[in-house]
Amino acid sequence: MSQAYLLLDRTRIERLPERLFELESTTFRSLYRNTAYGPLEEVGPVLVPVSPDSPLAQRFFKEWSATCGIWLESEAQEEVVLGHLRSLIHVRVEGDVTVLFRYHDPRIAALWLTSLPACERDRLMGPVRLIRLPDLEIRQENPDQPAARYGQEPWLLLSGHQLEHLGGVQRQHVVQQVIEHGQHYFPEHLQGLDAGALQAWALHCQQRAGRHGYSAIDEVLIWARFQAVLGTDFPDAPTHAFYRNMLTEPSLSPRQRLDNLNAELMRRQLIDKEFSL
């Protein structure tokens, strides 16, 4: 018997566990759990069993299917499906570099899967028989495919051409998230910016963060606060020497430096607010 699942993006759906509970769905499995990416679990994709015509299914097709996840159907056991999907969370690219792969974004899934020959697509789908995307259904033509399992070394390779083909969607996804994050958490710093200026600001955040070694979406979102509050010349302005020192503190990991800088900035904002009262 076929079981339907939703593969949902926690970075795109605010308070996802609470919203699932409100929709009478309490079971979900993280794809990043028990992998090298466990520390990113709260911003990683989750697998959720779903019944057709349920409140969750209705919410998915009404609000989430365009950008927040994909619908899957399989006759295999849930553990088999989870294991196969987990094996795809990272890929190798040219230069033998490993990167996270956001195939759970329906826009990336559509570009990726429709560009493949049917035999290769069937192999990649493994135990998944059907994928529903906006205005598109992808059915496995040869269903007797083995399921893969997650390993420290990814088994899937993306060519340079494939990476460039998919990269535009991923870059735009990050830009849009940075804009939404800024408008929600520090709107006063973005007042007066039109759509084009917001795009330019968010892209600049992404590029500056990447220049300093921060490319994960949660890192870019933290960096966006710095540029919103301190200016787009962060951290190169003469007044940013203190922050530059925090960003290069040798005894800490890059993520610890970023978190410490974020905590210090919020502390200073609270002090400034107290003095202005």
Per-residue model confidence as pLDDT tens digits over 177-230 = 889 888 988 899 898 889 889 989 998 888 888 888 887 778 888 999 999 999
Q: Six-digit token pair at 217?
A: 């979406």
Of the ranges 9-13, 31-35, 208-212, which is most confident? 31-35
Q: Which of 30, 28, 170 is nearest to 91 (CA)?
A: 170
Write down the H helix ranges in the chain. Answer: 16-22, 55-59, 78-87, 106-114, 118-125, 160-185, 195-211, 217-230, 241-247, 254-276
Q: Which of 151, 143, 199, 207 is nearest to 175 (CA)?
A: 199
Q: Six-digit token pair at 53?
A: 């015509």
Tell whether the model's pLDDT for residue 109 goes beyond 60.
yes
| CB 75 within 8 Å of CB 139 | no
In 101-161, DSSP assigns E strands to 128-133, 136-139
Q: What is the pLDDT of residue 218?
A: 82
Q: What is the pLDDT of residue 40?
A: 87
Q: What is the pLDDT of residue 211?
A: 85
Amino acid at 9: D
Of the ranges 85-89, 246-250, 254-258, 266-270, which is most confident? 85-89
In 32-80, DSSP assigns E strands to 45-50, 69-74
Q: How much is the mean pLDDT over the chain?
A: 89
Q: Six-digit token pair at 36?
A: 């090298």
- Rounded to whole angstroms, the Cα distance separating 234 from 163 reads 30
CA distances in angstroms from 192 to 40, 187, 189, 227, listed in the order given = 34, 10, 9, 16
- Rounded to whole angstroms, the Cα distance separating 81 from 3 reads 10
By DSSP bridging, strand 69-74 and strand 128-133 are: antiparallel
- Rounded to whole angstroms, the Cα distance separating 198 from 202 reads 6
CA distances in angstroms from 134 to 28, 48, 108, 122, 158, listed in the order given = 23, 19, 12, 20, 24
Q: What is the pLDDT of residue 93?
A: 84
- The model's confidence at residue 273, banded by pLDDT at 50, 70 and 90, is low
- The model's confidence at residue 169, banded by pLDDT at 50, 70 and 90, is low
Tell whether the model's pLDDT for residue 272 goes beyond 80.
no
